[in-house]
A and B are shown apart, each in its own frame.
Chain A
Amino acid sequence: MTIPYFVRLLCLCAATFFLVNAALGLALHLAANSIIRFAHRMTPREATRFLLLVRFLPLVITAFVVLGVCLPSYLWLEPAATNENVGSIFVLAALCGAFIWFSLLLRTGKAVVVARHFAQECKESCAESKLSGVNLPVEILESDTPVLLLAGVFRHRLVLSTAVIRTLSPEQLISVTRHEDAHRASRDNLKRLLLLLSPGILPFSRSYDSIERAWAQLSEWAADDDASGNDAALSLTLAESLVRVARLGATPRPSPLCTSLIPPDQDLSARVNRLLLPPSFEGKLWRRMGAMIGGAACVLIVILTVLLVRPTLLQSVHELLERLTH
C-alpha cells in the first residue's frame, strides 16, 4: 500500500502510540496487584495520588516517545513529499492506535452526555436549596431513594434526596456533606473524567480496572479522613451516617462523572471499620516515591535533550521506525 508523506506521519504516530502503550500497559497490568498492595501502605490521600500517577504513566511515556522522539525523527530525516509503500502490520498497528483514541472519545463523550442529561433532569425535578455549614449549591430531590452525590466536573453541586435528609440527624448531615466537600476539594470528578480519557491496552478495553477500582476506593477513604479530620467523634458520626444511608437501600450513581456517598461496587464494612479503628501508616513513603518519580522524569528529560542534541541517535530511531513502516 502506498501512502503520502503526512498520512504516513499520522499512521506512524498512531502505530508507535499503540505499540509503546501496549508494551507499557502490559507491564503495568502485570504489576497491578503489587502496585495496589504498595499503595495500601500509604495514607489514602497519598495512595490516590500515587495510583493516579501510575495509571497515567504509560500515557505520559507514550506521549513522550511519540512527540519527543518519533515525530522529530520523521520530520527531520524523512524526505518530504514522497509516497512510500507500507507494510500490513504497520497499518494494523496504526488502525489499533486510532481505534484506541476513537474508543476513548466515544466513552468520554457518552459519559459527558449522561452527566449533562442528569444535570438537566436535576434542574427540572430538584429544588435548589442551601444547607447551613455547606458551601456547595444544594439540589434537593423529592424521593425515597437514598441519593447523596456530588455532581459536576467544574461547577460542583450536591444532590440530596428527601429520604436522606429525613434519615440523618443535622450532625450526620454535616458529616456527609463534609465528605462530599472533600471530594470537591480534591477534584475527584475531574480525575474521573481524566481516567475515562486515559487509554487502555486495546481499543474498547478496561485494562486497568483493578487500579481504577483501588483508586475509587481509596478516594472514598481519603474523603472520609478529610471529613472526620482524625477526630474520633466525627469519624463515628460519619460511620453512623454511612450505615443509616445504606439501610435505606442501594445508592444510585447516575453518571460516571458523579461521586456517590456509598458507591454500589465498594465494601461498606471495610470503610466503616477503618473509620472506627483508623490504621497507622508508614511515614515518608510518599516522599520517597515522589523522589523516585521525579528522578525518572529527570532521566526522561535528559534522554530527550540528548536525542535532540545528537542527531545520530535520531538517525537510529528513524531507521527503527522505517523498519516498522515497511
Chain B
Amino acid sequence: MKMFQLWKKRTTNRDETAVFSLLGHLEESVMEVLWANGENNVRAVTDHLDRPLAYTTVMTTLDRLYKKGLLNRRKAERAFLYSPKLSRDEFARARATDLVASFLSGPEPSKELLVSCFLDAMGQHDDVVLGELEKKIRNQRRRLRRGGQQ
C-alpha cells in the first residue's frame, strides 16, 4: 500500500511538471494575454485574443489552465477573475527545466541526444551571432570608407 502511495505521488509529481511542456496553442495564447494584461475575466481574455473565439471555448480553456495549476482564480461579483501563477520568465524556466529533466530521466541514448541537440543549437546560435557581427563590421567599414571619401 505504501509502495503504491509512493508510486502515485511520483506519477502525480511527474504530471505536474509535465504541464509546463504540454500546453496547446490556445492555452499558450490565453497565457500570453494574461501575462500581458494581468488579472482578467473570461470576456476580457476573449476580446484580447488575436482570433475570434466563442466565450465558452475561452472559459473552458481558462478552467483547464486553472485545474493544471497555472492560474489563480477568484470570484468578483458574478464572474471569475483569472491571473497567472508564474511570471513569463518563471514559466519559461520551469518549462526548460521540465524538458531537460524528462530527457535526463530517460535512458542513456536520450541523454546523449539532448546534449547533441543542445550543442547543435549552440552552434547554430553562434553562427547567427557571428553572422550579425560580420554584417555590422561590413556596415561600419562602408561608413568609414564613405567618411574618408568626404
CA distance A236 to B147 in the complex (A): 14
Cβ contact within 8 Å between B133 and A243: yes
Stretch in A24-32, A173-181, A211-219, A269-277 touching the partner:
A269-277
CA distance A236 to B140 in the complex (A): 8
Residue A75 lies at the interface, judged by CB distance under 8 Å to chain B: no
Number of interface residues of A (CB under 8 A): 13
Cβ contact within 8 Å between B144 and A269: no
Set of chain A residues within 8 Å of B137, measured between Cβ atoms:
236, 239-240, 243, 272, 276
Set of chain A residues within 8 Å of B129, measured between Cβ atoms:
268-269
If over half of B's interface residues share one DSSP class (helix, strand or loop), that class is named, otherwise mixed; here it is helix
Residue B134 lies at the interface, judged by CB distance under 8 Å to chain A: yes
Cβ contact within 8 Å between B140 and A268: no
Set of chain B residues within 8 Å of A113, measured between Cβ atoms:
none
Residue A320 lies at the interface, judged by CB distance under 8 Å to chain B: no
Cβ contact within 8 Å between A273 and B144: no
Contact partner of B136 among A233, A246, A268, A273, CB < 8 A?
Answer: A273
Residue A247 lies at the interface, judged by CB distance under 8 Å to chain B: yes
Set of chain B residues within 8 Å of A300, measured between Cβ atoms:
none
Closest to B134 in A: A243
CA distance A239 to B133 in the complex (A): 9
CA distance A273 to B140 in the complex (A): 11
Residue A232 lies at the interface, judged by CB distance under 8 Å to chain B: yes
Cβ contact within 8 Å between B140 and A246: no
Cβ contact within 8 Å between A268 and B133: yes
Residue B114 lies at the interface, judged by CB distance under 8 Å to chain A: no
Closest to A246 in B: B130
CA distance A301 to B16 in the complex (A): 63
Set of chain B residues within 8 Å of A246, measured between Cβ atoms:
126, 130
Contact partner of B144 among A236, A247, A268, A272, CB < 8 A?
Answer: A236
Cβ contact within 8 Å between A269 and B133: yes
Q: Mark A212-232, 1 if CB is under 8 A from B, else 0.
A: 000000000000000000001
Set of chain B residues within 8 Å of A236, measured between Cβ atoms:
137, 140-141, 144
Q: Which of B110-150 contact A (CB under 8 A)?
A: 126, 129-130, 132-134, 136-137, 140-141, 144
CA distance A246 to B130 in the complex (A): 8
Q: Kindly name the residue among B130, B132, B133, B140 whose own CB sees the greatest number of chain A CB atoms within 10 A.
A: B133
Set of chain B residues within 8 Å of A243, measured between Cβ atoms:
130, 133-134, 137
Set of chain B residues within 8 Å of A232, measured between Cβ atoms:
144
A169 to chain B, nearest CB (A): 13
Cβ contact within 8 Å between B141 and A272: no
Cβ contact within 8 Å between B133 and A272: yes
Set of chain B residues within 8 Å of A276, measured between Cβ atoms:
136-137, 140
CA distance A30 to B37 in the complex (A): 36
Closest to B140 in A: A276
CA distance A240 to B138 in the complex (A): 9
Closest to A232 in B: B144
CA distance A233 to B134 in the complex (A): 15
B150 to chain A, nearest CB (A): 14
Set of chain B residues within 8 Å of A247, measured between Cβ atoms:
130
Can you name 7 A-B pairs with beta carbons within 8 Å?
A233-B144, A236-B144, A240-B137, A268-B133, A273-B133, A273-B136, A276-B136
Beyond A232-B144, A236-B144, A239-B133: 6 further Cβ-contacts under 8 Å?
A: A233-B144, A236-B140, A243-B130, A246-B130, A247-B130, A272-B136
In order of increasing CB-CB distance, the 8 nearest A-B pairs are A272-B133, A276-B140, A243-B133, A240-B137, A239-B137, A243-B134, A243-B130, A236-B140
